[in-house]
Amino acid sequence: MKAGIKEIPFGSVNGKAVKLFTITTPSGMEVSVMNLGATLTRIITPDKEGMQGNILMGFADAEYYRTYKHCYFGSIVGRYANRIANASFVHNGKEYLLEKNEGANCLHGGFAGFHQAFWAIEKNAGGDALVAKYRSADGEAGFPGNLDITVTYTLSDENGLEIDYHAITDQSTPVNLTSHGYFNLSAGKSANVLDHELQINAAQYTVLDEQQVPTGELNLVEGTVFDFTQRKPIGKNIIDLPKGYDLNYVLDINNDIAAQVYHPGSGRAMTVKTTEPGLQFYTANFPFPLHQESSKAPELFSSFCLEAQHFPNSPNEPSFPSTMLNPGEVYQQHTAYLFSIK
C-alpha cells in the first residue's frame, strides 16, 4: 500500500489562502507541508513505546509562520541559504547588490526570501509525493536571473523524509537551497534538546568572523567544543558557548551519513544524508515559541537544525565549492532525514 495525501485549508496570509498537504504512510508516519514557503509543519513518528508524536517545531495556523518569519520554521530557504557578506558579490566583473536583512549581510535570501513565497504544490503523478514549485524572478532581493525551483517531498519505505531539489536559471546566479526544520525528538516532552546525542561526520568547520561570516579558513574540530565526530550530548560543551551552536561543518566526503541524532528518553533516532558539502548546526539560540503539542514555556535551545547546504558566503570565497548556476546547467540536491527507534 502506497502513501496517501490529503489537502486542507490552513488559514490565510495577506488575504491569500494557505493550504496544508499531509502525506501518510501505511506505517503511520505523517509529514505535512504548506504552500507558504513550501514549509514543513509536522513530522509524526513513533517513540520506543509506539506512541506517535510531532518531532518538528511548528504551529497550528499559518499566521504564526508570518509572525515568526525571522525564524524560518521548517521552510525552504533561498535563493541563498545562510549569509553573504556585505550583501554583495561580483561575477564576471559586475557587482550585484543584495538585500541587507542582517546588519550589513544578506541572510537566507533577503527580507522576503523563499520562506515567505507562495509555492504551487501538487501531488506527483504516482500520488505518493508532494511537488512544490516556485519561480524566483530576475532581480528578486537583488539576485540575477529567473530561477525555476522544484522541491519534491517523498516518504521513503525506510521511514524517512526525502527532499529533492531541482533548479534552472536563464542567467548566472548563486544558488544555495536548504530546508530549515527545527527538531526536538522528544515530541514536545522536553523543553530543550541538551540531552539529545549528536554525531556529525565532519573533521573541519568554516571559521567565522564577528558577524558570523566565514573568513575563508577551515579549522579542525579536534580539541574544540565543535567536535561531534564521536556522539555526545548537545549540552555537554554548550556552557562554553553562551550563544549556542550556529556553525557550518565541512562534511567528510567519504561518508554517506552527514549526521546522526539520538534522544535517549524517547528512543527516537534521526540520520541525515545529503549530497551537499556542508551542514549548518544551529541550536535555537533564543527562547523560541514551542510547537502546538508542547505545554512547556519557551526556553533556550528548544530545538536544533541540521541544514544541508553549500558553505556560507561562497560567492565571495573562491576557495569554497562554487554555488554559481549557469544557463543550461541544473542545480540538484538530495537530502534525507531517516527515522528509527533504538
- pLDDT 10s per residue in the chain (342 long)? 567 899 999 999 989 999 999 999 888 899 999 999 999 999 999 999 999 999 999 888 898 898 888 899 999 999 999 999 999 999 999 999 999 999 999 999 999 899 999 999 999 888 889 999 999 999 999 999 999 999 999 998 778 999 999 999 999 999 999 999 999 999 988 889 999 999 999 999 999 999 999 999 999 999 999 999 999 999 999 999 988 999 999 999 989 999 999 999 999 999 999 999 999 999 998 876 655 555 566 678 999 999 999 999 999 999 999 999 999 999 999 999 999 998
Residue 132 amino acid letter: A
Looking at residue 194, what is its pLDDT? 96
Pair 285, 300: CB distance under 8 Å: yes
Give strand pairing partners of 333. Answer: 165
Pair 106, 83: CB distance under 8 Å: yes
State whether residue 311 is helix, strand or coil.
coil
* DSSP codes, 91-109: ETTEEEE----BTTBEETT
**Residue 92 dihedral angles phi and psi, to the nearest 5°:** 50, 40
Catalytic residue selected from 140, 197, 293, 307: 307
| CA pair distance 10, 37, nearest whole angstrom | 13
Looking at residue 188, what is its pLDDT? 85
Pair 3, 153: CB distance under 8 Å: no
307 noted as active-site residue: yes
Looking at residue 109, what is its pLDDT? 96
Looking at residue 289, what is its pLDDT? 62
Which domain range does residue 101 map to? 4-341
CATH for 276: 2.70.98.10
List the grid coordinates of 240: 562554553
| CA pair distance 75, 34, nearest whole angstrom | 9
Looking at residue 212, what is its pLDDT? 93
Looking at residue 258, what is its pLDDT? 98
Pair 293, 302: CB distance under 8 Å: no
**pTM, whole model, 2 decimals?**
0.95
Helix (H) or strand (E) holding 63: helix 62-67
Looking at residue 64, what is its pLDDT? 87
108 noted as active-site residue: no
Count structural domains, the chain. 1
| CA pair distance 138, 143, nearest whole angstrom | 7
Catalytic residue selected from 30, 115, 140, 180: 180
* DSSP codes, 217-265: EEEE-TTSTT--SS-EETTSSGGG-TT--EEEEE--TT-S--EEEE-TT
Pair 254, 236: CB distance under 8 Å: no
